Amino acid sequence: MNLENISQAKVFGGWHKQYTHTSTALDCDMRFAIFLPPNATKETPVPVVYWLSGLTCTDENFMQKAGAFRKAAELGIAIVAPDTSPRGDKVPDDPNGAYDFGLGAGFYLNATQAPWSGHYQMYSYIVDELPNLIEAHFPVTQQRAISGHSMGGHGALTIGLKHPDSFCSISAFSPIVNPMNCPWGKKAFHHYLGDDRTTWAQYDSVELLKTQSSIPPILIDQGDSDSFLTEQLQPEKLMAAAEQTGHVIELRMQTGYDHSYFFIQSFIEEHLDFHATHLFPNTDDE
Amino acid sequence: MNLENISQAKVFGGWHKQYTHTSTALDCDMRFAIFLPPNATKETPVPVVYWLSGLTCTDENFMQKAGAFRKAAELGIAIVAPDTSPRGDKVPDDPNGAYDFGLGAGFYLNATQAPWSGHYQMYSYIVDELPNLIEAHFPVTQQRAISGHSMGGHGALTIGLKHPDSFCSISAFSPIVNPMNCPWGKKAFHHYLGDDRTTWAQYDSVELLKTQSSIPPILIDQGDSDSFLTEQLQPEKLMAAAEQTGHVIELRMQTGYDHSYFFIQSFIEEHLDFHATHLFPNTDDE
């Protein structure tokens, strides 16, 4: 199987479509979803925002609940939402079925430890395989931005920071910014990566910030009523690292908002506007 | 239990909240959700759009997937989404667990036949009990509009047509307009109401239209790629009845759209604008 269309629905004049394909990087069949705005044609390809979801999610959570298509249709931006881990019967899962490790919890890294390393290569999938597939088969340009929520905010930040030439802007909702030092991250990194903290640092936004000479534009929204704020998310650590390294990151603490898609839908249009200013850099000059 | 708040999340400056309560009409515990826009206060109460969902849904489908809150917050309109049937262990269900009858499929009528009549009284619940509860406990006015999808479009049309003094405007997505003459409706009406078709006619929009001297403003959107269009929905029957009786109904056939929430989210803002013109009748004069 390579690239099989399994659903499509018209939305805001564009199309939401789901596909399955066989992933080389992950060694399993994967599903992703794409939103194509009404103006996306072979003759007029559009840029892409890659959306990385959080723990337990699939391609469907963002596409069904974020309310992003009205603005994406208006701006002329495609959105691609991959799954959050390799999938299938042959893919190992947390032996206790925990929600925060294994299936649905790939943490956007390349695992080095057995039995995880055979399939859990989400970093390579998001950085290389998926964009190449999208750009080969859909009416899109090579202009890319990246965004995500929670574990997916961690994925967007780490991947965006390491690949400024591939992704022109980064945004995140409620990201895990310092997985090396929070319970979710420590559990996942221990199993996927072993116990060498220099390897961990390659997937930690706070640590990556210290190694970059320049960074893409970054917008982060964080609800101050998010129940994971203090123990897992800790955006203040990213801001401290930014200040220490002289990098500029916009963090907006949003009063009263929690960790849910109700929070995401409240601000996703502003994130798309933010990415549009970088995906369409010449708009103001025309 | 009466009126227990079980969840709340800030969204677009307002609040999405879920409540449970013991329903007298349905003789069971029920859950509903309410969106309150930012300007809803005891001093400045807001009007309410009641949203009735389709087969298999609960209060959550619309609230999570319709993308309605941006516009509702802007307009200052509350939205109430009830469940689609009585619920609980003591409530009888389709013996085969069918999706189109029993739990999740109350059809917004008052059942007359055993064993359904003890709990399946969704008509009374929507017409009387729920609005009274909402108006007693939340910062809302008595200005109401009603809308819904599929089976809920049937509910919105029939209830709105029978209670023009309670609901100032009606809208529907993909409604079942002539349940007496489609498979979903015939199955449900047979079990809930017995086989007297004069009883059926009390819950059939096409038949009700013929008995009304005047009707509220009605807006209907229907996708022409809806797989249920020909067999179950048949909006042309409602338009024929409207023409025959001299009533005006706006039906918009939307090219390429299906029966999903992707369709609903594409046009829900226009429905809220439509209801706003009737919920705020003096806006233009101010």
A14-40 pLDDT, tens digit each: 999 999 999 999 999 999 999 999 999
User: CA of A8: which chain B residue's CA is closest?
Assistant: B258
User: CA of A67: which chain B residue's CA is closest?
Assistant: B67
Contact A266 B12 (CB under 8 A): yes
Residues of A designated catalytic = 150, 226, 259
> How many angstroms separate the Cα of A253 from the Cα of each of A67, A226, A272, B73?
21, 10, 18, 21
pLDDT(A286) > 50: no
The SS3 call for residue B282 is coil
Which residue out of B226, B247, B271, B275 is catalytically annotated?
Answer: B226
Average pLDDT over residues B77-103: 96
pLDDT-derived band at A2 (thresholds 50, 70, 90) equals confident
Residue A252 neighbours by CB distance under 10 Å: 12
Q: Which residue has the tokens 């200052």?
A: B76
Q: What is the pLDDT of residue B284?
A: 53
pLDDT digit string, tens, across residues B33-52: 999 999 999 999 999 999 99
The chain-wide mean pLDDT, for chain A, equals: 97
pLDDT-derived band at A284 (thresholds 50, 70, 90) equals low
pLDDT(B212) > 50: yes
Q: What is the pLDDT of residue B285?
A: 47
Q: What is the pLDDT of residue B2?
A: 85
pLDDT digit string, tens, across residues B168-190: 999 999 999 999 999 999 999 99
Q: Tell me whether B271 touches chain A (CB under 8 Å).
A: no
The SS3 call for residue A18 is strand
Residues 6+ apart with CB under 8 A from A172: A147, A148, A149, A152, A153, A154, A156, A157, A218, A219, A220, A221
The chain-wide mean pLDDT, for chain B, equals: 97
CB environment A96-109: b (16+ within 10 A), e (fewer): eeeebbbbbbbbbb
Which residue out of B23, B85, B150, B205 is catalytically annotated?
Answer: B150
Q: What is the pLDDT of residue A283?
A: 54
Q: With DSSP H G I counted as helix, E B as strand and the rest as coil, what are the percentages for chain B, rounded to 5?
A: 35, 25, 40
Contact B266 A65 (CB under 8 A): no
Contact A70 B257 (CB under 8 A): no
In the residue annotation, B21 being an active-site residue is answered as: no
Average pLDDT over residues A37-64: 98
Chain A hits for B257, Cβ within 8 Å: 9-10
CA gap B268, A53 in Å, rounded: 25
pTM equals 0.96
Chain A hits for B69, Cβ within 8 Å: 67, 262, 265-266
Q: What is the pLDDT of residue B66?
A: 98
Q: What is the pLDDT of residue A108?
A: 98
- Smallest Cβ distance to A10: which of B10, B64, B258? B258
In the residue annotation, B150 being an active-site residue is answered as: yes
pLDDT-derived band at B283 (thresholds 50, 70, 90) equals low
> How many angstroms separate the Cα of A90 from the Cα of each of A24, A26, A103, A112?
14, 11, 11, 18
Q: What is the pLDDT of residue B1?
A: 57
A-B contacts (CB, under 8 Å): 65
Q: What is the pLDDT of residue B281?
A: 78
pLDDT digit string, tens, across residues A238-274: 999 999 999 999 999 999 999 999 999 999 999 999 9
| A46-52/B78-82 β-pairing | unpaired
pLDDT-derived band at B282 (thresholds 50, 70, 90) equals confident
Average pLDDT over residues B90-95: 95
